[in-house]
């Protein structure tokens, strides 16, 4: 990370599109919750997206010009903020927004070039280069097959969600 002081552990998942980052997270988050941990996720989207829908009051208020639209109920709340910038989001700013919340671990999907600890997901059949070769922030590789590379970081079974969850707990959550 940069000079920004972050109080929560942060772990990224780096991979090329189609490797299975979301599938992995969908499977390990319940395992972490089952162990009593509170998890936050930051997901990077490479495209325009909208979490609200037309004809809903919150959507209409935002489209009317509200820069910040917070919608809340007794079960959840969501804050939508309009960015007037064309540059990529700043991961440190995203993390700071979550840092004071009641969470134990921030998982980051995407932001593969950012300076945070990461588990690389690698499927040799997709023929993408290894990210860890040029990124010292990769602390482990989760892969679906054995591969012949001389790397000095742990290798995890991409399809063994319990193994990956145990690694995360050992590395980031056990004190």
Q: Give percent helix, percent strand, percent coil of the chain, each to the nearest 5.
A: 25, 20, 50
Where do the CATH 3.40.50.300 domains begin and end in the chain? 10-44+89-173
In CATH, which superfamily holds the domain spanning 10-44+89-173?
P-loop containing nucleotide triphosphate hydrolases (3.40.50.300)
Q: pLDDT tens-digit profile of 31-72?
A: 999 999 999 998 877 666 667 778 888 888 888 888 888 888
For residues 19 and 2, give the distance between their C-alpha atoms in angstroms, rounded to a whole number. 28
Q: pLDDT tens-digit profile of 80-134?
A: 777 777 777 778 888 887 766 789 999 999 888 889 999 999 999 999 999 999 9
Q: pLDDT tens-digit profile of 41-52?
A: 988 776 666 677
User: Which residue in 37, 24, 6, 7 sits closest to 114, CA to CA?
Assistant: 6
Q: Given this model, what pLDDT does residue 3 score?
A: 46
For residues 132 and 141, give the distance between their C-alpha atoms in angstroms, rounded to a whole number. 8
Report which of residues 155 and 89 the model is more confident about.
155
């Amino acid at each position: 990370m940069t000079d920004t002081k972050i109080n929560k552990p942060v772990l990224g998942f780096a991979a090329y599109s189609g490797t299975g980052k979301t599938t992995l997270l969908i499977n390990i988050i319940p395992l972490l919750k089952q162990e009593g941990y509170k998890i936050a996720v930051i997901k990077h989207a490479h495209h325009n997206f909208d979490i609200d829908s037309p004809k809903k009051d919150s959507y209409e208020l935002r489209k009317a010009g509200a820069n910040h639209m917070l919608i809340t109920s007794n079960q959840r709340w969501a804050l939508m903020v309009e960015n007037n910038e064309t540059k990529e989001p700043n991961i440190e700013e995203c993390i700071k927004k979550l840092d004071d919340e009641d969470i134990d671990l921030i998982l980051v999907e995407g932001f593969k070039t950012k300076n945070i600890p990461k588990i690389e997901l690698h499927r040799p059949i997709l023929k993408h280069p290894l990210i860890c070769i040029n990124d010292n922030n990769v602390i482990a590789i989760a892969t679906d097959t054995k591969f012949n590379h001389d790397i000095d970081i742990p290798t995890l079974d991409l399809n063994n969600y319990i193994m990956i969850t145990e690694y995360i707990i050992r590395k980031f959550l056990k004190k």
